[in-house]
Amino acid sequence: MTLKTGDIIQNRYRIVRLVGQGGFGAVYRAWDTNLKVPVALKENADTGPDAQRQFEREAHLLANLRHANLPRVSDHFVLPGQGQYLVMDFVEGKSLSDLLVERGGPLDEAEVLPWIRQVADALEYLHTSTPPIIHRDIKPDNVIITQEGRAILVDFGISKVYEASKSTTIGARAVTPGYSPPEQYGRGRTDARSDVYALGATLYTLWTGQVPPDGPDLASGADTLIPPREANPAVSPATSAAVVAAMMPNISQRLAGAGELAG
């Protein structure tokens, strides 16, 4: 069920507008009538019992996260037959996608590096939490740059708790062509290195102005990754090499963590 402007959820959150929509649900800007602040209301349309248990577990984990480059989760609830809802800080700013469109071409390496270090720091925090949390949907749309120049990694839509014994859960199997690594497309196991791939792919887009080839095409050899420096000579050899190392199709050959990519 799509929420409409003016709808009030949980006797507290008034819907202001739809921000984004996908196969798994939607994100709304809402007004918290108790605290008198704007919030992001994230709706997951899957209300099956398994999804509900998974949601409750993850919502509690996300609510305990505290990092300067992540939005804070302040509330969560389930409306039977309608959806599961996460309430988090509404981050004011422009996404990296917005900046690419505004500039009409690749962004400057020196401008981008501090932002990516901040995102990598947030990922390192998620990956080393107990249990580890894998974001699984890093892309230019999901990094917001605030007016103060801070990078915030948003959208915990398909974040999933990492369990070494299990392959990617069905709920986490959504993919974003160009940004999702090969292992996220099938029954492969996703882990911290899956986020490293997506962060590398995000950098690739920022520095070349192009979305990289799809992960399965790189894995099968149907397509090849042109190093960022070849597409844009303004990119330094070291950072170009780091992006290629982050985007190795074979997970075992990839950079091991976000901290390693930032380094």
Catalytically active residues, by annotation: 137
Taking the CB of residue 112, how many other CB atoms lie within 10 A of it? 20
Structure tokens at 69: 């480059």
Structure tokens at 58: 């993850």
How far, CA to CA in Å, does 129 sit from each of 100, 162, 230? 32, 10, 37
Q: Which helix (H) or strand (E) holds 43?
A: strand 37-44
Q: Is the dihedral of CA 196, 29, 90, 58 positive or negative?
A: negative
Which one-letter DSSP state was computed for residue 166? S
Sheet holding 151-153, edge to edge: 94-95, 143-145, 151-153
How far, CA to CA in Å, does 140 sit from each of 94, 101, 107, 208? 10, 11, 12, 13
Tell me if 223 sits within 8 A of 210, measured CB to CB.
no
Between CA 183 and CA 144, with CA 208 as vertex, the angle to 5 degrees is 75
State the Cα–Cα distance between residues 120 and 111, nearest whole angstrom: 15
From the list 136, 189, 132, the residue with the least C-alpha distance to 161 is 132
Q: What would you measure as the largest C-alpha separation in the chain, in angstroms?
A: 55
State the Cα–Cα distance between residues 219 and 235, nearest whole angstrom: 25
